[in-house]
Amino acid sequence: MDYKNKVCIITGGALGIGRCLTREFSNVGAKVIFIDKNKEAGNENVEYIKRKGGEVEFFLGDIAEEDTLYKFAEFIIKKYKNIKI
């Protein structure tokens, strides 16, 4: 599958498997949006992806909190109309 310019949403994208996924999808050209509650690790991941030429956005929050989940969804829907991954 061609991931170039496809919008990819990842939860828990600051560390561990989530971080690996954000970087791999970015490496193949996807626009990555991720949410995580770890601000420091999230910002570090954004810097890393941008240094490598990737397109990324980080939303700070805990998806276990219903209000945060709705805000994250609203943010994505307003900015990106066509989500693929």
- Read off the tokens for 50: 């941008």
Question: Other C-beta atoms within 10 Å of 72: how many?
Answer: 21
What are the angstrom distances between the C-alpha of 16 and each of 4, 12, 30, 67, 82?
Answer: 24, 8, 19, 25, 27
pTM: 0.90
Which pLDDT value is given to residue 68? 95
Which pLDDT value is given to residue 83? 76
Average pLDDT across each block of 10 residues of the chain; the chain has 85 residues. List them in order: 91 97 97 97 98 97 94 90 73
List the domains of the chain with CATH numbers: 7-79 (3.40.50.720)
Calpha distance 39→58 (Å, rounded): 9
